């Protein structure tokens, strides 16, 4: 077996949430290029169809499920849909998530709870539904779950008390789930740095802010979605078969926040 063969996931089936654009879209296409059939889901059907065309262009099958993935029943239902439509289930990529930055005193308990639900409970709901289906295929192959956390889950900055706390919880969920599901299912995650997706569109058009991001990143550039997709493929394939319960930092080498959003000091 060539070392490159370890990155093949030919004939496997993956679910990718939040796959209408950005990291999820790049990940779905990457997994298809490596040989997997893919179920993709997000809120906007039009975006998903564009990604589906790219997946099908690789010769792989693609199932599109447009859904509100903040609905825990809807996200859990993706597991059975993938199994029914594609015949098996090998990999789950918990990519859906995100929360807008907000000042501390404007971050209500309800907002914090919603951030936790959207970033952590969604991953738990889908993975919990997927595990029995993954284990139905007694072919000796390891199955894989990959979570998409954030560098804000391991660092601290103003305005991110909800998002950062939720992503830190997701990272620890990853480690705990890996213990519960080993040895048949590996669970790993990625601490994502500054990646040029729609979330950073407001930065791309402002040279000063872009310079700030690049200047505080040791590798001197903002990441691309494919940088993360490559990490997901590694964790999903035989190349990563001796890795579980780990969070890989794909962030250009940053050790501190890279963008000052200008949140003021707390005032009476």
> Distance between CA 202 and CA 198 in Å, rounded?
8
Whether 69 shows a pLDDT value over 80: the answer reads: yes
Contact (CB, 8 A) for 31 and 9: yes
What is the token pair recorded at 209? Answer: 């802010």
| Residue-averaged pLDDT of the chain | 95
Determine the pLDDT at residue 207: 80
Active site residues: 163
Q: Angle 9-195-59 (CA atoms, 0-180°, nearest 5)?
A: 30
- Domains in the chain: ranges and CATH: 8-250 (3.40.50.720)
Q: What element of type H or E holds 185?
A: strand 185-192
Cis amide bond preceding 183, omega within 30 = yes
Task: Give 3: exposed, middle or buried? Use CB within 10 Å, 0-12, 13-18, 19+.
Answer: exposed
Question: What SS3 state is found at 56?
Answer: helix
Name beta bridge partners: 250.
192
At residue 42, φ and ψ (nearest 5 deg) are -170, -175
- Percent above pLDDT 70 for the chain: 98
| Rounded mean pLDDT, 126-139 | 93
**Alpha carbon separation from 51 to 20, 39, 97 (Å, rounded):** 7, 11, 19
Task: Give tens-digit pLDDT for 210-261.
Answer: 888 899 999 999 999 999 999 999 999 999 999 999 999 999 999 988 888 8
| Residue 202 banded pLDDT, cuts 50, 70, 90 | low
Residues above pLDDT 90, as percent of the chain: 85
Distance between CA atoms of residues 181 and 124, nearest Å: 12
């Amino acid at each position: 077996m060539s070392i490159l063969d370890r990155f093949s996931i030919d004939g496997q089936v993956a679910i990718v949430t939040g796959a209408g654009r950005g990291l999820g879209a790049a990940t779905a296409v990457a997994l298809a290029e490596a040989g997997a059939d893919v179920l993709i889901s997000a809120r906007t059907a039009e975006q998903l169809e564009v990604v589906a065309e790219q997946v099908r262009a690789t010769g792989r099958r693609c199932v599109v499920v447009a859904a509100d993935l903040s609905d825990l029943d809807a996200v859990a239902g993706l597991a059975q849909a993938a199994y029914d439509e594609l015949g098996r289930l090998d990999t789950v990529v918990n990519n859906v998530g995100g929360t807008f930055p907000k000042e501390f005193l404007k971050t209500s308990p309800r907002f914090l709870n919603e951030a936790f639900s959207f970033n952590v409970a969604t991953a738990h709901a889908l993975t919990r539904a997927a595990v029995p289906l993954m284990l139905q295929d007694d072919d000796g192959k390891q199955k894989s779950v990959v979570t998409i956390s954030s560098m804000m889950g391991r660092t601290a900055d103003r305005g991110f008390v909800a998002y950062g706390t939720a992503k830190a919880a997701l990272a620890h969920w990853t480690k705990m789930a890996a213990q519960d599901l080993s040895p048949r299912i590996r669970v790993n995650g990625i601490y994502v740095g500054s990646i040029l997706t729609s979330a950073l569109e407001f930065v791309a058009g402002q040279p000063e802010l872009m310079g700030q991001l690049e200047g505080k990143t040791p590798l001197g550039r903002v990441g691309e979605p494919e940088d993360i997709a490559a990490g997901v493929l590694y964790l999903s394939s035989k190349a990563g078969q001796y890795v579980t319960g780990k969070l890989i930092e794909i962030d250009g080498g940053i050790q501190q926040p890279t963008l000052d959003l200008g949140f003021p000091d707390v005032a009476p």
